[in-house]
Structure 1
Amino acid sequence: MEQRFRDDLIFVGGLWQRGRGAPITSQFAADGSVNATISGASAEDVEEAIARARDAQPAWAALRPHERATVLHRISQGLAAGIERIAWVQSRDTSKTLTETRALAASAAATFRYFAAVAETMDDLLTVPRGDYTTASIHEPLGLVAAITPWNSPIASDAQKVAPALAAGNAVLLKPASWSPLVSLELARIAEEAGLPQGLLSVLPGSGREVGNLLVEHRDIAKVSFTGGTSTGRRLAHAAAEKLMPISLELGGKSPTIVFEDCDIDLAIAGILFGIFSSSGQSCIAGSRLFVQRSIHDAFVERLVTATRALVVGHPFDAATQVSSLIHPEHRDSVARYVDLAREEGGTILCGGAPPAEMALQAGAYFEPTIISGLSNAARTCREEIFGPVLVVMPFEDEADVIAQGNDNDYGLACGIWSSDHRRCQRVARAIRAGTVWINTYKQFSISTPFGGDGDSGVGREKGREGLRAYQRQKSIYEDMSGRPHPWARWP
């Protein structure tokens, strides 16, 4: 695949220019090579982007929804036409497999297409009056929106924020993660080519301390949508509270996967492997706590370990690869420290537990798919997000026991249930505290279905028709129909 990276410019209020902040280097963690060094955004760049957005947004908001939708459709078409380019850039940027990054690029195209359709079909409401007047509930754009996205799935996360915000009539200032800035700049090029008016989108790679904090605290930013770590999300929520500004937070997870004795074992093993080891475990919804009913625990875990050892760890451009490199050597080292902690806590490493021994992988940030037993749900390894290919397996006795253990965690993002008993699945799905529950499957998504978490996993929801409303403010309008002065005034 003959590809190259573009120049080092960033997208400030619809103009390509050199950032005035510290340089940012994107690294291909699969072999340690450098992709590109770009000029990062500075506070001055942020102010310039906000000024241009402020000038451009009113005309965009004044367009009819179907007129905005036309532009979003063209962005969707540009993404679909550029899947191979986007996939290559994102694989180089994140070390994800090309199989996965192609799917993420296709997902981004579908997201823009969906919210174009939502913009055309979302109705305001003429409410039922309680007197001689008409009443209406209408929705208006917020104005300027900041979108802060993570490094693990940037193009899909970008689309899930940018598409509904633009569809709702806002201007968007997008800050991608410093470890993976390149694919977000590809999105900017596609949006520009699609005819998005200048000033409505900025892509501002830079430090969270300088760029991220300024976006959150700036008086002209009407909303922040953040996906990332819980500690950062909590700090941003404090800043938003000072402004009384709405904020959406999609944060971390420590999601339970529950295997009952009556499950389809082959179905469960395949789903569990995908749920924790795809994306090399770098997923907020990863099913990282596995609870297996005690009556089948030992036999099930033995089969799971055998299947895990058969997974192919390799280069992201190899079509056979299932588990690729982690995003960065620093992150690989963080995952390794958690595995060491599990050993200290008394855990037994059933497989994996270290970087692979193959010489061909030594230059990359790889880590073997790892399964750990012998820990209780109270262990730090079971309570803190590792964000890597590490699974802890624990036994449970019955439905009540696993619901208690599954909910005994500060996170509440996702859950997987494996059972052939439909009624049991529905009971447990409703009893588990999680924003998304999968039954006899895992990590399946639809842009039409809301997504988000509870507790330390965040606040608010993305996706679905109401995902557009999250970027608007509601207004009620009353109009008198009687023509009579209000009787309280006794006039005339």
Structure 2
Amino acid sequence: MNRFELPSSELYIGGRWETGTGAEIVSAFPGDGSINRIIPGASRADGERAIERALAAQADPAWRNLKPHERARFLYRIAEGIDTNAARIAYIQTRDTGKTLRETTALVASAAATFRYFAGALESLDDTLTAPRGDYLSLSVHEPLGLVSAITPWNSPIASDAQKVAPALAAGNAVLLKPASWSPLVSLELARIVEAAGLPQGLFSVLPGAGREIGNLLVEHPSIARVSFTGGTATGRMLARQAAEKLMPVSLELGGKSPTIVFADADIDLAIAGILFGVFSSSGQSCIAGSRLFVERSIYESFVGRLVAATKRLVVGDPFDEHTQVAPLVHVDHRNAVAAQVAAAVAGGAQILCGGAIPQGSAYDQGAYYLPTVLAGLSNDADICREEVFGPVLCVLPFDDEADVIAQSNANDYGLACGVWTRDFPKAWRTARAITTGTVWVNTYKQFSISTPFGGEKDSGTGREKGREGIRAYMAQKSVYVDLTGAPHPWARWPEGSA
């Protein structure tokens, strides 16, 4: 394994590397608890300084007047910088989050592809000449909002950063990025790459810090024109209330409790492999994790038996080991919270079919590990079937028919994703259309394309990211009418021949 130097403890504030003046942030390796970096976080004063520099940079004609294809060049260069430094970035993210190196390598490639996609989309994104209803030329044009905030979670920072920063820059904005305090390092590394790409100074900042201080500033400040947030539903609700006071647009990608549905006619091997990946990859720390499994009653016992046997074979271990499938959770505190939810479910009558414990052995003693867990004997309204666990925990439930499983799937406050496993395409289509959710996978799970919009329903959020229209979300639409007659408006009853 290559070992790379981790980013320094300085923050990227308005295009300058400076020591933060806020509360201390500790980045630790979840595999053994060793310290990566101790970073002075961003204070409110640091954020205000970043905002001041961002406003000046965004208003500078050198940036604001660039043609779309000229802005796209910066995105292409950032993509190349990510590709060139892929091994280093993946290493940093694994140290910061505990994700397997295999997964972080894929996330880095995804981030580069995201910048490249939005560069290409920007070059071919047209404004509209609308159909006139009179003697005038009418157009619909789009302009930058100005200054936007991007607030990203700790579970997949490099990919989440790219999905917000790339379209916001493509739209011509300045961007203030606040990564989570548990995983600040890879976002600071992104800042180094953005700087090397030659983006005008001040247009991009990375401000890890306390939510109550820097997070609130990046929502409440009157110069912030839009916020894109990925994180927990409770925080999302609070942010939405703050945004409403400003009449400011937001996009909120929040929690999930996604159902996975296995019909009796499904390809069993395909379904088991997809379900394992859907809930236990990323150690279950995914908003789209397929954490509620509904299995048609006629195959329930045999299917769950095979699934449990396969779950027990998953390799739990060091995220830098190429054989590891389930790595540690991001932090011991988070691991303990997951364990507490499982313990509460067992106290309420849940049956542990496998897992439900911290793995034993010296390799696990200092890390934030938790075994892949399958729970049965639950009703769909049990707390653990309703609340997001954000860990490697799967609840299995039987269903009787199509109508039953649709009703049970929808009987939840979340609506982010869903998986359907069947060989019957009409049934898959009916089910996919009937589930209230933002994304449905049929005979697969956790497959993504930057070209396909993503977002949630109900308590899973509002708004969409990705896709060509993802750039427009960071722009203001303006209508322009140009008179073609040269004559005064008849309402004024302008005297004929008057000067």
TM-score band by shorter chain is over 0.9
* Contact 2:147/2:224 (<8 A) preserved: yes
* Map of 1:428 onto structure 2: 431
Contact 2:3 2:91 in 1 (8 A): no
Is 340-349 or 206-215 further displaced after alignment? 340-349
Q: Of the candidates 358, 371, 374, which is equivalent to residue 371 of structure 1?
A: 374
Alignment length (residue pairs): 492
Aligned to 1:35: 36
Deviations 1:307-341 (A, max 9, x none): 00000000000000000000000000110011011
Higher deviation after alignment, 51-60 or 235-244: 51-60
Letter in 2 for 1:241: A
Counterpart check, 1:24 vs 2:25: yes
Worse overlay, 347-356 or 52-61: 52-61
Matched, 1:12 2:13: yes
Which residue does 2:81 correspond to in 1? 78
**Structure 2: gaps (5+ residues):** none
User: What are the equivalent positions in structure 2 for 1:306-325 lying under 5 Å apart?
Assistant: 306-325=309-328
Q: CA deviation at 1:6?
A: 3.3
- Per-residue deviation at 1:344? 1.7
The residue number in structure 1 matching 2:207 is 204
Give the CA deviation at 1:5. Answer: 1.9
Contact 2:264 2:422 in 1 (8 A): yes
TM-score by length of 2: 0.98
Does structure 1 retain, via aligned residues, the 8 Å contact 2:7–2:189?
no
Mapped contact 2:69–2:123 kept (Cα < 8 A): yes
- Structure 1 residues not aligned, in runs of 5+: none
CA distance in structure 1 between the aligned counterparts of 2:8 and 2:467, rounded to whole angstroms: 36
Q: Distance in 2 between matches of 1:265 and 1:471?
A: 43
State the secondary structure of the residue aligned to 1:221: coil
Deviation at 1:357, TM superposition (A): 1.3
1:121-200 → structure 2 map (5 Å cutoff)? 121-200=124-203
Read off the aligned partner of 1:460 and give its amino acid letter: G
Work out the CA distance in 2 between the residues paired with 1:178 and 1:86.
Answer: 18
- CA distance, structure 2, for counterparts of residue 346 and residue 488 of structure 1: 77
- TM-superposed CA distance for 1:393, in Å, is 0.3
1:205 positional shift: 0.7
Amino acid at match of 2:107: L
Distance across 2 between alignment mates of 1:485 and 1:442: 62
Partner of 2:410: 407
Deviation (angstroms), 1:360? 1.2
Aligned: 1:273 with 2:276: yes
Mapping 1:437-452, distance limit 5 Å: 437-452=440-455
Q: Distance in 2 between matches of 1:386 and 1:7?
A: 33
Q: Which amino acid aligns with 1:390?
A: V
- Look up the match of 1:263: 266
Q: Secondary structure at the match of 1:224?
A: strand
1:243-285 Cα distance to aligned partner (Å, 9 max, x none):
0000110000000000000000000000000000000000000
Q: What displacement does 1:485 show?
A: 2.1
Quick one: which amino acid aligns to residue 132 of structure 2? P
- Alignment partners' CA distance in 2, 1:129 and 1:205: 49
CA distance in 2, matches of 1:355, 1:336: 8
Alpha-carbon RMSD across the aligned residues, in angstroms, is: 0.7
- Percent of pairs with identical residues: 69
Write the mapping of 1:38-49 to structure 2, written as runs, cut at 5 A. 38-49=39-50
- The offset of 1:421, in angstroms, is 0.3
Q: Is the 8 A contact 2:12 2:18 kept in 1?
A: yes
> Partner residue of 2:287?
284
Contact 2:167/2:470 (CA < 8 Å) preserved in 1?
A: yes
Q: Secondary structure at the match of 2:148?
A: strand
Aligned partner letter, 2:401: D
Residue 225 of structure 2 aligns to a residue whose secondary structure is: strand
Matched AA of 1:251: L
**Inter-partner Cα distance in structure 2 for 1:70 and 1:6:** 26
Partner of residue 478, structure 1? 481
Query: Counterpart of 1:14 in structure 2: which amino acid?
Result: G
Distance 2:440 2:247 in 1: 32
